[in-house]
Structure 1
Amino acid sequence: MPGDEEQQKRALRARLRERRQLLSDAERESAAVGIARQLTALVRAHDVRSVSCFLSTATEPDTRGFVRAAVSRGIRVLLPITRADGLLDWAVADDDEITEGLFGLPEPGGQALGPNAVDDVELMIIPAAAIDRIGTRLGWGRGYFDKTIGSMQRRPPVYAVIYDSEVLDSLPREVHDQPVNGFVTPTRTITISPARD
């Protein structure tokens, strides 16, 4: 039986998912431009040549414009591929077709490099449903990114991508939840010092 934190997370995810579905096409397009601008500035500020990102779904803040632009500038971008065992494989972003992975998520069609490929990135950009002001991230409940971040030998800075309305004062947190170093919205990028227990 799920604990209080997990029940709170489920209810919050449902509300956030519904709010995202209500966004208009114009709001999504405006957010996509802002996200690309903010992510490009973040990569430049960290002066990195290798990042991991994700291919956004229809309701997520759009990361695809950023991925295309980063690849065109010669930045190596790794994209996740979900596996049935709860781990992520990674593939290099290029012009290959996008396929539908587990859970209907968009994934790169390139060659899977294995879970350890992400150990070489200098910056991680990950999805989230919400973030709180101390770096607690609420994901969508499958734990892929928490497992990945928690098992990395050398953890780079990790930033979550969300809409402006998804920055909350506090979120329920469980032991396995991995904090982030900051978040990116269509209008701002905030670096925080995540709480560690």
Structure 2
Amino acid sequence: MTGTKDEVRAAVRATRRARPADERARAAQDLAGWMTCSPFRLEYDVVVAAYVPTGTEPGSRAMLEALTGQGVRVLVPIVAPGPPAPLDWARYDDADTLTSARFGLHEPGGDRLGPDAVAKAAVVFLPALAAARTGVRLGRGAGYYDRSIATASAAELVAVVYDDELVDDLPADPHDVPVDWVLTPGGGFVRCEPAADDN
């Protein structure tokens, strides 16, 4: 995708708003299905950090339920009051524990585990507006996740997008944290290949 980050964000948001509800529902079902055939071991002793999709974001709570159904311990983010900062985390047990929170998000009501809890995750599923095959992830722009996943250095980082949001190239800044994989409803898990260094 060409253009500045803000231009690409605006284009993706417009496309997501126009995406039919039945297409979003099929995509959510497909994404949940990939949780049972991922390239990672997702079993009873594994910690995964994920997110609760809202609005037109790809996915649904079914993705989280698929993980917990396999015995995976799932952490989801908590956005603290104030300016953008590293995310706090709490355990996700089921949808009944979620309450409405800042920015229209849904968060569990359980104990807060602190920003460093994500360091225990073997896999981190990240929301994104788009992702490049080179590992560039385009988020909403506030930098919450880039600030948070620096401590998850051992984790596999997976951006979750719709099929048409996986592209060859995206604008990036030096502080952007690249992802290792992209997950799409139709293509499943795609391994990223960082661009060759031109220097």
Q: For residue 13 of structure 1, what is the aligned residue in structure 2?
A: 9
Describe how 1:98-177 pairs up with structure 2 within 5 A: 98-150=98-150, 152=151, 154-177=153-176
What is the deviation of 1:63? 3.5
More helix by share: 1
Once the two structures are aligned, what percentage of the paired residues are identical?
A: 39
Q: In structure 1, list runs of 5 or more residues that go unmatched.
A: none
Q: For residue 191 of structure 1, what is the aligned residue in structure 2?
A: 191
TM-score by length of structure 2 reads: 0.88
What is the deviation of 1:153? 5.8
The question of 1:46 aligning with 2:43 is answered: no
SS of match in other structure, 1:13? helix
TM-score by length of structure 1 reads: 0.89
Offset from partner CA, 1:53-112 (integer Å, 9 cap, x none)? 100012011131011121122110000011234220101111343222222222222221
Q: For residue 79 of structure 1, what is the aligned residue in structure 2?
A: 76
SS of match in other structure, 2:15? helix
> Could you say if the C-alpha distance between residues 184 and 153 of structure 1 is closer, same or farther in structure 2, counting changes exceeding 3 Å?
closer
2:120/2:152 contact within 8 Å kept: no
What is the deviation of 1:32? 0.8
Q: How many residues align?
A: 189
* From 25, 28, 42, the counterpart of 1:29: 25
Q: In structure 2, list runs of 5 or more residues that go unmatched.
A: none
What is the deviation of 1:193? 3.4
What is the deviation of 1:195? 4.9
2:123/2:155 contact within 8 Å kept: yes
SS of match in other structure, 1:79? strand
RMSD: 1.9
**CA distance in structure 2 between the aligned counterparts of 1:38 and 1:187, rounded to whole angstroms:** 10
Amino acid at match of 2:174: V
> Could you say if the C-alpha distance between residues 59 and 137 of structure 1 is closer, same or farther in structure 2, counting changes exceeding 3 Å?
same
